[in-house]
Amino acid sequence: MSEANVAQPTQTMLSPASKGLVARAVGVLFSPRATYAAIVTRPRALGALAAVIAIVAAATSAFLATEVGKNAYVDQALNTIEGYGVTVTDQMMTRIEAQAQYAPYVTTAAQVVVVPLTAVIVTGLALAIFNALLGGDGTFKQTFAVVAHSYFIVALGAVFSLPLFYMNKSMASPTSLSVFFRMVDEGTFLGLLLGSIDLFRVWWIVSLSIGLGVLYKKRTGPIAWSLLGLYLILVLIFAGVRTALSGA
């Protein structure tokens, strides 16, 4: 028997075992490092993206299809508009109430566009940083698969938030830091800041960092802290702009 024939089985045994879609989804939640290693070895993104879109769209649409959801949609729209210092007119109010009737369908259509588009954008940024700047060798297919599977955290967040939206009769994030600081006025800079930091988004960033670390053979810590720092900067900018406009 030749040396090449002897080495081949050893190499195969060292490769992560192939995982089905459900196993990959569960693995991202509970054993991300091993799961991302399997994903990088056999990158498949289409099934993960389709599952994430279906889960998020179903959870959000189910809530918006109820009367509680429609009323919460109207309240959220009004708070957003008024938060930018705009006075809501009767005509605007009529349009918002009309839009609430179609919100479940619009939300589903939006997920079909937004989820793949954001996945492509995040993948492009990761390739620009890790390949172009840091000399990595990850392919688009591998990076896109890692990003797509990290979105299972987002899908879990949508399912987790669904009953809380209904109980609270509000579309305000039930998993943001503002939940722990009820005494802070949500219209202030601090209130907007706390309301914009969502625990599931933080989890998603950490999970994505693990996946990118596995793909590019980098330590997770520096990647995670860098991405979390960027997230915090964006949240600070958002809260600052909203505060400035609402006070204008």
* pLDDT tens track for 71-100: 999 998 888 787 777 788 888 888 888 889
- CA torsion 189→193→194→196, rounded to 10°? 140
Domain extent listing, the chain = 20-246
pLDDT of residue 3: 43
pLDDT of residue 4: 43
pLDDT of residue 220: 94
Question: What is the C-alpha separation between 157 and 200, in angstroms, rounded?
Answer: 6
What is the pLDDT averaged over residues 157-163?
93
Q: Where are the alpha helices (DSSP H) in 84-219?
A: 90-126, 140-150, 152-168, 189-196, 199-216
What is the pLDDT averaged over residues 114-124?
95
Please state the length of the chain.
248
pLDDT of residue 15: 57
Angle at Cα 102 formed by Cα 204 and Cα 86, nearest 5°?
A: 75
| Residue 198, SS3 per DSSP | strand
